[in-house]
Structure 1
C-alpha cells in the first residue's frame, strides 16, 4: 500500500505544482555591419572625391599640410586595429574610428567652409555610409565647426577634400577586406 501511495504521489505531484515559467525570450541579436554595402559605398565615396575638380586653378598643384598634429582630423592609425588579422577577430575599435572620421567629414561638408560650394552627392554618400556603420556603433558626438574667414574657405576646402580622399582610400581597404568571403 505504501508503494502505491508513493507512486500516486510521484505521479500527481507535478499536477499540483505551478507550471514552469516560460523561457525568457532570447535577446535580439545586435545589428551586424553590412560589409558588402559598406565596401560599395566606400568605393563610391572614393570615386566621388577623386572626380571633384578644383574650382581655383591656382590651388590645383598646392599640397597643404598643417603643422599642429593636435588639430588633425580623425584618421585610421595602426593602433585602431584595422589590420586584416585583427579585423577577422574584433572589428569594433576600427569601426568606431571609421565612424568618427565619417562624422567629422560630414560635419565639415555641412559647415560654413562649404557654404558657397555644396557637394550634395558627396554628402549623400557620406550619409548613407554613416547610416550603415551607425547601426552597430551608434552616433558619435558632433563637434560644431568653428566659423572661418571667407578668404580661407577655398584653402580649407582643398585641405578637407585631400584628407577625405586619404581617409576614404584606407577605409575602402578595410571594407574590401572585411567584405571578402572567407
Structure 2
C-alpha cells in the first residue's frame, strides 16, 4: 500500500478517536469541568477535517473503479488489528449516538446555543420550532448533551473514511502487483 493511503487512513482514524474522546468527556460530572465545549470552534475543528477526509476517501474509492464486493474483500485483506480497531471506532460512534438519542428522547430542551448574547435551546414539547431562553446554569447543564452528538458524528465519519481509504489502498496495491506480473 502506498504511503499516502496509510497516512490518509491513519489521520482519519486518529481524528475519529479524538472526536470520540471529546464525546466521552461530555459525560464527566461537574459544571466547570467542561470549559472546552462552550465555544463552537471546538466542534468545527473536529467536524470540518472529518468531513474533508471522508470526501477525499470517497474520491479515492471511486477512483479505483471497483465494485462493493471487491472493496469488501480488500478491507478483509487488511490486518486483523486494523479491522478490529476500525470496527471498534465505528461501533463506539454508533453507541454514543444511540445512547445520546435514547437519553435525550425524554428531554424537553435540546441544542443549547448562545444567540445574540442570550442562552437559548429548542423546546421539543411544542409543535413549532420554538427557541426558549435559558439561564446560564440551565445552558451549562444542557450543553454537554448537545455537544455529544456533534462529536460522535465526526467519529463515525473518520472511522468510515479510514476504512474506505485503506480498502482503496489495498485495491491499488493489488492492481500494482498484478500489473507487475
Shorter-chain TM-score bucket reads: 0.3 to 0.5
Higher helix share: 2
Q: TM-score, normalised by structure 2?
A: 0.32
When normalised by structure 1's length, the TM-score is: 0.32
Larger radius of gyration: 1
Higher share of residues assigned strand: 2
